[in-house]
């Protein structure tokens, strides 16, 4: 292997990898429930909104949802185009291979269509990263981009490092090389998600980008720290912390608003997940279910736990046409 990106694995990075792996185990158990509760689309919307907001796009989750559903939105045409491109890219991205240059260029073409002239190709001119009126990073000259990207993609294909590390290093190196005339930030975040999704498919539904947006200053500081230290460990630490926080957030959300074609809303998702997790494949009466959760107030249990689970199709009644029957029992819905 010719190229080796400069980074060191420290104890904090190892600790974060262990924490992420443990949290992923819990989240994977909840994944089927989350799919049933229509959270996949909501998380994809958060991912798109977060990644584009970092680049200055002002559209809200509600506006992105409307565009996704084919409804008109009053907003700057450029921002609407950015959203449409991102929706298309995130719908296709699992078909691409992380180490394929052809797929990388195809992704850029999809993501930047109608926004710049040089879509799906490496830049032909010099470029710098600005902070206010100061240049904080001068990218390598365009004559070096093809070689640098070939080295990086070859390293990605051959590396035996943990995917959490390779994805973070690739994200940083792409930003350092800045191979495109525009769209490098959103490409770096998209490609890290792709690398992680090839490792664990559940990453396709974890909106890490929204947390990066919420910590945007720290994101840029972490990128700059590597430039100053010739070691991307600060960036790896930052990104792993964002991934861990996103997993934790996805696992413990108390209320999730989900927009589908009917603008449906599923609330108290945490309550539903808690109820499902304690039930076995047998029938229960109301008192038994409340006892499993340590609850004593019947109407609260029905309103916050049982009814949402039934409406989501996760629990079913044994006597569906007589809701108040004294012989009524409840069981996990048979798939």
Q: Which residues are annotated as a binding site?
A: 129-137, 182-189, 219-220, 228
Rounded to an integer, what distance in angstroms lies between the CA atom of residue 65 and that of residue 73? 10
Binding residues for ATP: 129-137, 182-189, 219-220, 228
Q: b/e map of 180-204 (b: 16 or more CB within 10 Å)?
A: bbbbbbbbbbbbbbbbbbbebebbb
Phi, psi (degrees; rounded to nearest 5) at 24: -65, -35
Its sign, for the CA torsion 208, 22, 93, 100, is: positive
Strand-pair partners of 137 = 129
* Contact by Cβ (8 Å): 41, 258: yes
H-state helical runs in the chain: 11-36, 39-54, 61-68, 77-92, 101-112, 145-158, 163-177, 184-199, 208-214, 216-229, 233-252, 269-278, 286-293, 298-301, 307-311
Residue of 181, 108, 175 whose CA lies nearest to 148: 175
Tokens of 196: 């992680």
Q: How far is CA 329 from CA 56, 79, 308, 322, in A?
A: 52, 51, 16, 11
178 is catalytic: yes
What's the rounded Cα separation, in Å, for the pair 239 and 16?
A: 10
Q: Closest Cα partner for 43 from 210, 190, 164?
A: 210
Say if residues 108 and 192 touch (Cβ distance below 8 Å): no
Residues 256, 42: contact at Cβ < 8 Å?
yes
Residue in 108, 171, 178, 259 annotated catalytic: 178
As annotated, the active-site residues are 178
């Amino acid at each position: 292997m010719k190229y080796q990106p400069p980074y060191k694995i420290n104890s904090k990075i190892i600790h974060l990898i262990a924490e992420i792996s443990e949290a992923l185990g819990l989240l994977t158990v909840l994944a089927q429930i989350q799919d049933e509760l229509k959270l996949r689309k909501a998380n994809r919307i958060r991912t798109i909104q977060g990644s584009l907001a970092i680049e200055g796009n002002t559209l809200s989750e509600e506006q992105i949802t409307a565009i996704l559903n084919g409804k008109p939105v009053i907003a700057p045409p450029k921002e609407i185009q950015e959203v449409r491109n991102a929706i298309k890219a995130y719908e296709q991205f699992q078909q691409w291979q992380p180490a394929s240059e052809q797929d990388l260029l195809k992704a850029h073409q999809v993501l930047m269509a109608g926004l710049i002239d040089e879509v799906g190709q490496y830049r032909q001119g010099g470029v710098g990263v600005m902070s206010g009126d100061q240049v904080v990073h001068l990218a390598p000259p365009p004559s070096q981009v093809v070689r640098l990207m070939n080295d990086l993609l070859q390293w990605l294909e051959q590396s035996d490092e943990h995917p959490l590390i390779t994805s973070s290093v690739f994200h940083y190196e792409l930003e350092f090389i800045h191979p495109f005339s525009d769209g490098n930030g959103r490409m770096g975040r998209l490609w890290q998600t792709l690398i992680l999704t090839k490792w664990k498919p559940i990453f396709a539904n974890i909106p890490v980008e929204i947390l990066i947006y919420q910590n945007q200053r720290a994101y840029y500081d972490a990128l700059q720290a590597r430039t100053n230290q010739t070691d991307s460990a600060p960036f790896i630490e930052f990104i792993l912390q964002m991934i861990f926080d996103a997993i934790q957030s996805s696992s413990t959300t108390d209320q999730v608003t989900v927009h589908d074609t009917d603008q449906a809303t599923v609330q108290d998702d945490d309550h539903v997940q808690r109820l499902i997790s304690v039930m076995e494949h047998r029938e229960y009466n109301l008192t038994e279910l409340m006892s499993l959760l340590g609850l004593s107030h019947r109407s609260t249990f029905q309103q916050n736990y049982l009814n949402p689970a039934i409406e989501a199709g996760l629990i079913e009644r044994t006597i569906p046409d007589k809701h108040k029957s004294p012989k009524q029992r409840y069981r996990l819905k048979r798939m």
